[in-house]
Amino acid sequence: MNVYEGKSVFHGIAIGRISIYKKGEQQVKRVKIDDAETEIARYEEAKIQAVKQLQGLYQKALREVGEANAAIFEVHQMMLEDDDYNDSIKNMVRTQEVNAEYAVASTSDNFAQMFAAMDDDYMKERAADVKDISERVLTVLHGGGGGAAAIKEPSIIVADDLAPSETVQLDKELVLSFVTVYGSLNSHTAILARTMAIPALVGTPLPLDDTIDGKLGIVDGVNGKIYVDPDESTLARLKKMQREDIQRKELLQTLKGKENITLDGKNVMLYANIGNIKDLAAVLQNDAGGIGLFRSEFIYLEKEDYPTEEEQFQIYKQAAETMAGRRVIIRTLDIGADKQCDYFGMEQEENPALGCRAIRICLTRPELFKTQLRALFRASAYGKIAIMYPMITSVKEVKRIQEIVSLVKAELTNQGIEFGEPEQGIMIETPAAVMVSEELAEEVDFFSIGTNDLTQYTLAIDRQNTKLDEFYDSHHPAVLRMISMVVQNAHKAGIWAGICGELGADQTLTQEFLAMGVDELSVSPGSILPIRKIVLETNVEEYKAGK
Ligand code: PEP
Ligand code: MG
């Protein structure tokens, strides 16, 4: 057995015969020609055919993987019509008196090298595209067919690299998985694989020879590995993983698109927690109704210096646009305690969890707070952003936030900068906030209960201290009663209340939360569908009666 490691593009397990993908690559010879104009006409004819093929591929991709992913084939059509590309080919035919194949191949090499040498990553990626379109024209000039047609039975396809056009032409019924030696995670090929839900690896250094061709292979897209000629125990282990993966995906499929509604008609919002915009794909994949907690401090923690207003604006805007009208709750900076940024220059504290953290930093350093608020208000013109303030203990703090928000809005108005009107809510994660939640509810649009901190502060147990695990009882009646109280006070004031701490994903409590009237649960993306299943199977009134 041999094992090779690569970068996983899409999770999943595939087991089957390995087939090395043989490209329809063209051997191009330099041939002297007599009649340049006839040769150019040959090229023009081949180009028309290539454009027709691309139109067909665009339609196929549109049906199978959607407009955004199909767009690459429109780009390829435009590239084929590009004046510089065409002038180079025709000029070569005329001045060097060479065949169209040679002129296309040489132009392809020249342009690809030019793109590859550019600083811009996006332009670098276009080198593969120019080779791809040229290969297509060469195939037409040679009257040949593509490489995908050679695949006859379901196989794990292994190649040095795959162009987007090659990937989309692969018959999904016959491709169990694909593995490439080269290729980046951001290439269109990788994007297509994800959208097509094919387990795939890129950047996998494996030999493209008889040591793998025709052998049994297992692609482990979860751990980024391909096993060639697996031994029995590996095969048994991966088969088990594959069964579990299939079950998980089946569950995922049947529950996607369903409303989170109980048997007796109670609705709950199931949102996702994220720390980075890279998590947005998982949010969409798991059918989250929105984002219930975007921990914005991770933007600060990943940097060496304060992120600028513009940097933050771009991130929040991207989240809002990607979620397309669904609520995106962004929590303002929650630095402090275990989340320290050197450049904040914070003083050492005896009790950091009870120290200068979260909203306390923002209220004592209003300029820092204003930068983030400006970015958030600006981005909310692009989608349904909601702002959430952490570690609140009093109405006074909320009033101070409101004053700063008014200043920010006045500044943006005076500067003629566009902004939206985001909803504004607070985290309920201190016992003090629970006890004054009736008053707080009059000031804000929603509550989100941070059970991680609420448990720590209620039980007086440092959440970081693993030695105290046996005392950290997240089901403690004090915590559960606090949640219930917060929900009741929210409803009295006509606002909604959710849970964004880890307890929200505790499936043994889902029914209890529904019984309390919790309006929203914000959990890691992978927990959404299992919780939806419980919601769909619950009758809240019966559950309450049976308690
Ligand atoms: C919480 O305290 O429950 C919470 C969601 O915030 P964090 O875990 O980031 O402190
Ligand atoms: Mg917290």
pLDDT digits (tens, 9 = 90+) for 502-544: 899 999 999 999 999 999 999 988 789 989 999 999 999 999 9
Q: How far is the CA of 479 from the centre of ligand 1 (A)?
A: 14
Using alpha carbons, select from 95, 6, 82, 2 the residue that is nearest to residue 47. 82
Which stretch of 3-7, 56-60, 331-335, 395-399 has the lowest confidence by average pLDDT?
56-60
φ, ψ dihedrals at 14, nearest 5°:
-125, 135
| 215 against 198, higher pLDDT | 215
**pTM for the complete prediction?**
0.62
- The Cα 523–Cα 255 span in angstroms is 16
Sequence-distant (≥ 6) Cβ neighbours of residue 17 within 8 angstroms: 153, 154, 155, 156, 214, 215, 216, 217
- The Cα 179–Cα 219 span in angstroms is 8
CB count within 10 Å of CB 70 equals 20
The pLDDT-based confidence of 17 (bands split at 50, 70, 90) is very high
Tokens (6 digits) for 213:
């061709």
Domain covering 2-20+154-242, topology: Glucose Oxidase; domain 1 (3.50.30)
Q: How far is the CA of 260 from the centre of ligand 2 (A)?
A: 26
Please tell me the predicted confidence (pLDDT) of residue 479: 97
Mean pLDDT value of segment 384-412: 98
* pLDDT for residue 26 is more than 80: no
Q: Ligand 1 pocket check: which of 333, 453, 527 to mutate, most ligand atoms within 8 Å of Cβ?
A: 453
| Residue extents of the structural domains in the chain | 2-20+154-242, 36-141, 262-546
Active site residue 500: yes
Q: How far is the CA of 459 from the centre of ligand 2 (A)?
A: 15
Q: How far is the CA of 517 from the centre of ligand 2 (A)?
A: 22
Nearest ligand to the CA atom of 338: 1
- DSSP, res 171: -
Ligand 1 atom nearest residue 502's Cα: 3
- What amino acid is encoded at 34 in this protein? D
**Which residue has tokens 């593995």?**
179
| Cα 184 → chain centroid | 16
pLDDT tens for each residue of 56-114: 888 888 887 778 778 888 999 999 999 999 999 999 999 999 999 999 999 998 998 88
Pick the catalytic residue from 11, 76, 188, 362: 188
Please tell me the predicted confidence (pLDDT) of residue 153: 81
- DSSP, res 426: E
Query: Angle, nearest 10°, between helix axes 100-116 and 83-96?
Result: 130
Specify the residue with its C-alpha closest to ligand 1, atom 6.
450
Q: What are the CA-CA distances from residue 438 to residues 5, 247, 329, 449, 524 (Å)?
A: 56, 44, 22, 14, 29
**Inter-residue contact 19 to 212 (CB < 8 Å):** no
- The Cα 51–Cα 153 span in angstroms is 29
Active site residue 142: no
**Which residue has tokens 């590859």?**
116
Using alpha carbons, select from 76, 59, 190 the residue that is nearest to residue 134. 76
Architecture of domain 36-141: Orthogonal Bundle (1.10)
Nearest ligand to the CA atom of 331: 1
Using alpha carbons, select from 278, 262, 302, 340 the residue that is nearest to residue 517. 262
pLDDT averaged over every residue in the chain: 90
Mean pLDDT value of segment 27-49: 89
Q: How far is the CA of 343 from the centre of ligand 1 (A)?
A: 22
- The Cα 208–Cα 188 span in angstroms is 23
Pocket lining for ligand 1, CB < 6 angstroms: 293, 295, 334, 429, 450-453, 500-501
Q: Ligand 1 pocket check: which of 455, 463, 500, 523 to mutate, most ligand atoms within 8 Å of Cβ?
A: 500
| Cα 532 → chain centroid | 21
Looking only at Cα atoms, what is the longest distance across the chain?
93
DSSP alpha helix (H) spans, 2-97: 36-65, 67-80, 83-96
DSSP 38-58: HHHHHHHHHHHHHHHHHHHHH
Specify the residue with its C-alpha closest to ligand 1, atom 3.
450
φ, ψ dihedrals at 186, nearest 5°:
-100, 5
Please tell me the predicted confidence (pLDDT) of residue 55: 92
The pLDDT-based confidence of 192 (bands split at 50, 70, 90) is low
Q: How far is the CA of 332 from the centre of ligand 1 (A)?
A: 12
Please tell me the predicted confidence (pLDDT) of residue 534: 95
- The Cα 453–Cα 140 span in angstroms is 65
- What amino acid is encoded at 378 in this protein? R
- What amino acid is encoded at 32 in this protein? K
Nearest ligand to the CA atom of 524: 1
Query: Angle, nearest 10°, between helix axes 232-255 and 528-537?
Result: 60
- The Cα 93–Cα 87 span in angstroms is 10
- The Cα 455–Cα 83 span in angstroms is 66
Specify the residue with its C-alpha closest to ligand 1, atom 9.
295
- DSSP, res 21: P
pLDDT tens for each residue of 455-492: 999 999 988 777 787 888 889 999 999 999 999 999 99
Q: Ligand 1 pocket check: which of 298, 330, 335, 429 to mutate, most ligand atoms within 8 Å of Cβ?
A: 429
Phi and psi based region of residue 420 (left: phi greater than 0; alpha: psi -120 to 50; beta: remaining): beta
Domain covering 262-546, topology: TIM Barrel (3.20.20)
Ligand 1 atom nearest residue 295's Cα: 9
Mean pLDDT value of segment 371-378: 98
Q: What are the CA-CA distances from residue 535 to residues 33, 142, 259, 518 (Å)?
A: 73, 60, 10, 12
Give bridge partners of residue 273 from the DSSP assignment: 293
Give bridge partners of residue 294 from the DSSP assignment: 274, 330
Give bridge partners of residue 523 from the DSSP assignment: 272
Tokens (6 digits) for 460:
């007086």
